[in-house]
Structure 1
Amino acid sequence: MPLPFLTADRAIDASGEFSDEVALPFDDHDRWRRPYRPGPWRVGAAAVLLLLASFVLLAAVIIAAAGEPTGALVVLFIAVLVIASSLRLLRVGVWVSRAGLRRVAFFTTTTVAWPRIRGVRTVQQPVRWLGLPRTVQGQALIAESQGGQALPALLTDHNADFLGRGEAFGRAADLVEAWGDEYRRG
C-alpha cells in the first residue's frame, strides 16, 4: 500500500528513484499538499491524545454498562472531541497548491492566493518554541502580501514539525519558496 506522506519531502524521478532535486515533486498541482512530513513532536502529541481517547472510550463503556446512558453519552462526546482534536493537530501546518498558500492553525485556516503574495523567504527572528509563549532566536519562513505587510510566520525551526530537524526545515522552506516562485509568476 503506497504511503504518500512518507515521500513528501523527496520526489520520485522518472527512473523510479528518490530525488531531492525536483522542485515541485507532485503531478497534480491543483490538490492541496503539505510539502513536508509532520514532525515527531506533533505526531507524539496526537498519539498521546488518541491514547487518552481510548481510556475515555473505555470509561464510556463502563458507565453505559453501569446503567447511566446520559453519563455514557457525555463521556462519549468528550472522547469524540479528543479524537477530533488529535486529527486536527495532525493537519496543522502549511499546505500549497496551484491556487495559493494555506496556513492551517488549530482553530483557523487562512488561504492566500499566489498573486496576492509578493514573496516567500526565510528570515532570522525570535520564534515561539513549540508554539508556547517562550521565544528563542531561530529561523522562520514568512510570506509578504502585496501590501507589504508580513503574514504570520508560516514555519519555524522551533515548531512541533521541525524542532531538532534543521535540515527538514530547510527542505520544507525551499519547497514552499519553489511553489511560490512557480505560481506567483504565472
Structure 2
Amino acid sequence: MPLPFLTADRAFDTEAADDVALPHDDRDRWRRPYRPGPWRVGAAALCLLLASYVLSAAVIIALTGTAGGAAAVFGVALLIVAGAVRLLRMGVWVSARGLRHVGFFITRTVRWERVVDVRTVQQPVRWLGLPRTVQGQALLLARADRAGDAVPPLLTSHNADFLSRAEAFDRAADAVEAWAAEYRRA
C-alpha cells in the first residue's frame, strides 16, 4: 500500500537533481520536498507497535470481558494510530498555492503572496523539539502581515527529520527556498 505522506520528490535524491531546480509534475498538489527523518519514523513505528499491543488487549477484553471495555480500549488504540500518522505528516509542505507548516496539533498555511522571505540562519534551535537548545541552523519564514513578529522556524537542523543529517537539511532548505523564489515573483 503506497503511503504518499512518506515519500518525497524523488528527483532530489538523484544526481540529476542539479539540472532541475524544482522537480514536480502537479504544482497544485501539496508535497513535502524531503523525506521524514529516522527519528520521526522510529517514533511512529514505536507508537504503532504500542497500538498493536493495545489492539490485542482489546480483542482479549472483547472475548473475555465486556463490550464496553473492549470498545474503550479499541478507541485508545485508534487514537495511538491517529497520533502516529499525524507524527509522520508533520513538516513543511509546498504547492503552487503556498507553504504549509504541519505541526502535531496545528497546521498553518501561508499563501505565497504573503511570503516576504524564506532564508536559512544560524541560531540556537531546540533539540528534537525539547526545551534544550543547541547551536544549529533554522529555516525561517518572513511574512508580510507579521513584520517583526517572532515566527517559529519551519525546519531546524536538530529536529526529528534532520538530526545528524546536515546534508538532508541543506537539500530540504534549498528546496523550500527554491519554491519560495519561484512563486513569490509569479
Return the TM-score normalized by structure 2: 0.92
Alignment equivalent of 2:97, drawn from 80, 96, 99: 99
Deviation at 1:27, TM superposition (A): 1.1
1:36 equivalent in structure 2: 34
Question: Could you say if the C-alpha distance between residues 152 and 7 of structure 1 is closer, same or farther in structure 2, counting changes exceeding 3 Å?
Answer: closer
Provide the alpha-carbon RMSD of the alignment: 1.9
Change (3 A) 1:163 1:84: same
CA apart distance, 1:8: 2.4
Cross-structure match for 1:148: 147
1:140–1:9 Cα change, 3 Å: farther
Which of these residues, 89, 111, 114, is aligned with residue 112 of structure 2? 114
With 160-169 and 18-27 compared, the bigger mean Cα shift is at 18-27
- 1:148 partner amino acid: A
Residues 83, 135 of structure 1: alpha-carbon distance in 2 compared, 3 angstrom cutoff: same
Q: Within 2, Cα distance between the matches of 1:47 and 1:138?
A: 27
Task: Please list every run of 5 or more consecutive structure 1 residues that lacks an aligned counterpart in the other structure.
Answer: none
> What are the Cα deviations for residues 125-145 of structure 1, in whole angstroms up to 9, with x where unaligned?
110000011110100000101
Q: What does 1:1-186 correspond to in 2, within 5 Å?
A: 6=7, 8=9, 10-11=11-12, 19-21=16-18, 22-146=20-144, 147-149=146-148, 150-186=150-186
Say if 1:11 and 1:26, in contact at 8 Å, map to a contact too: no
Residue pair 1:59, 1:75 contacting (<8 A) in 2 also: yes
Percent of residue pairs identical: 64
Hey, what's the Cα distance between the residues in 2 that align with 1:6 and 1:76? 29
How much does 1:10 deviate?
Answer: 2.7
Looking at structure 1, the residues matched to 37 and 12 of structure 2 have their Cα atoms a distance apart, in angstroms, of 18
Unaligned runs of 5+ in 2: none
| Paired letter, 1:42 | R
- Residue by residue, what CA displacement relative to the aligned partner does 1:94-149 show, whole Å, maximum 9, x if unpaired? 00000000000000000000110100000011100000111101000001011423
Distance apart, 1:171 and its partner CA: 0.2
TM-score, with structure 1 as normaliser: 0.92
SS at match of 2:137: strand
Give, in whole Å, the separation in 1 of the partners of 2:101 and 2:3.
Answer: 23
Name segments (4+ residues, structure 1) moved above 2 Å.
1-12, 147-151
Q: Give the conservation status (yes or no) of the 8 Å contact 2:123–2:137.
A: yes
SS at match of 1:48: helix
For residue 16 of structure 2, what is the amino acid of its counterpart?
S
8 A contact 1:92–1:105 mirrored in 2: yes
